Amino acid sequence: MKHRSRWVSAGIIVIAILGIGYGWRTNHYTSHFLNGTEIGGVQVGGQTAQQAAETLQTKLANQEYRVSENGQTLTTFSSREAGLKVYSTSQLKTLMAKQNAYAWPVHTISASADDQKLSPSSLNSTDLNHLAAQVVAKAGKNRTKTHNAKIVYSNHAFSIQKPVYGTEINQTSVKNALENAVESHQTTISLKKAYVKPTVLANSKSLVAAKTKAEKLAKNKITYTITDHKVKVPSDTIASFLTTKNGQISTNNSRIQTYLTKLSYKYGTIHKARHFKTHSGRYVKVPAGLYGWSIKVTAETPKLAKTVLSGKTTTRTPVIQGSGYHKNGADIGSTYVEVSKAAQHMWIHKNGKIVISTDVDTGKPPKGTTPSGVWVVWSKQRNATLRGYNDNGTKYASPVSYWMPVDNTGVGIHDSPWQPRYGGTWYLTHGSHGCINTPPSVMKHVFATVPLETAVVIY
């Protein structure tokens, strides 16, 4: 019993000594950093706040950093240039108060405890941005772009194209790389750390799903009704419209615009010369003018893009601009104005019949020659004043009772009370500045008979 009592007494003494030691060490770490504590890569374990402040000031405040690429130094900078503000003694005391002093045995065993790797303090964002901009400028613009993985269409099939890991950098990526380096006390910084990385990889679930969706969308049936034509958008063409953005299916609207432009050129009439059948039955070739229509590509592009992405079978008429669009394919139609410069005569056709026939005076050659073309009555005005310049350079202002402009240079049809004669060769010496001078007694009927948007064929 005596031996057992001795062992118990000894154990109590050991425990007491250990307890005293543990308490002393715990109290010690209320005024000292735990073992393994790093601030900006600098070891301050076991130091007081004042000692740590001095250590950080020595090692961090005037630290030099080097940015390199492929073994070549691009630039160097100091911690001051990066806007580094080292912790003061009072700030370090605040940090120390947050550490768990009772856990000191753990830090004695494992001196690299993650929770004790602290940043060196704040970095000035403005200084860091300025420094990043300098690095970007010195790195140069001739760099390989980084591209996400994407779906591509080739040989009638979709596939996933791998991402491109380029050498592209930007101010944000460089700023992050510099910040990470300074905070982890890396004095040599590889610019590769700042390379922009692709955010969508070839095995991305969203990209694989997008490929499946694209294959389905390409099989959709989209048909355009253009005048009396039915135009089916080919599957290969629909497929060429599809692309990926951030791993999601979208449309390449520039390709849609190209397709619609070709479609407009093929079926539209605004740019086309006409083989026009005159009042006598003779055919003449008349150049294009303002009359005609085309597909309004800028308005139709988003509509076709939406239709493609909807995956729904669709038949639609594209957005049309201009004049003279008829569902039956007719162009000039049966109501139009015909002007022969050679005959100095004008005929008003309405619903297939000539309702007005009159001599006129067209432009005096060569400066005032009336332009040939298929034009359009785009406005009708009463009591207008026509202004311009005479052949000798003087200005004129001619009041008219009826004014119907037809082109974009100031040419139109109007009454001309100053003209004593019409028809024949009078226009060669007394013609207009380009307009179709019409007898006042006839012009009021022309004005009443011809509606807006009527074609005016001048040849």
DSSP, residue by residue, 350-362: ETTEEEEEEE-B-
Catalytic residue among 32, 107, 349, 435: 435
Pick the more confident residue, 298 or 121: 298
| 42: pLDDT strictly greater than 80 | no
Per DSSP, helices labelled H in 296-354 are 297-310
Kindly report the CATH number assigned to the domain that includes residue 261.
Answer: 3.10.20.800
> Known catalytic residue: 185?
no
Is 188 part of a structural domain of the chain?
no
Residues 266 and 372 in one domain: no
pTM above 0.75, yes or no: no
377/432 same-domain check: yes
Is residue 238 domain-resident?
A: yes
> What integer is the mean pLDDT of 200-226?
95
Count Cβ atoms below 10 Å from residue 126 Cβ, excluding itself.
8
**148 occurs within a structural domain:** no
Least confident of 38-52, 179-193, 284-298, 437-451: 38-52
Q: For residue 74, is pLDDT > 70?
A: yes
Q: Please check whether residues 297 and 358 belong to one and the same domain.
A: no
Write out the two tokens for 4.
């057992």
Residue 46 included in any domain: no
Q: How many domains does the chain have?
A: 2
Predicted confidence (pLDDT) per residue in 78-133, tens digit: 888 888 777 788 888 888 888 887 776 765 444 333 344 445 456 788 999 999 99
pLDDT at position 115 is 40
**Percent of the chain surpassing pLDDT 70:** 90
Is 435 labeled as catalytic in the residue annotation?
Answer: yes
Of residues 32, 349, 414, 433, which has the active-site annotation?
414
Residues spanned by the domain of 285: 205-322
Do 385 and 318 have their domain in common?
no
The lowest-confidence range among 11-25, 35-49, 169-183, 219-233 is 11-25
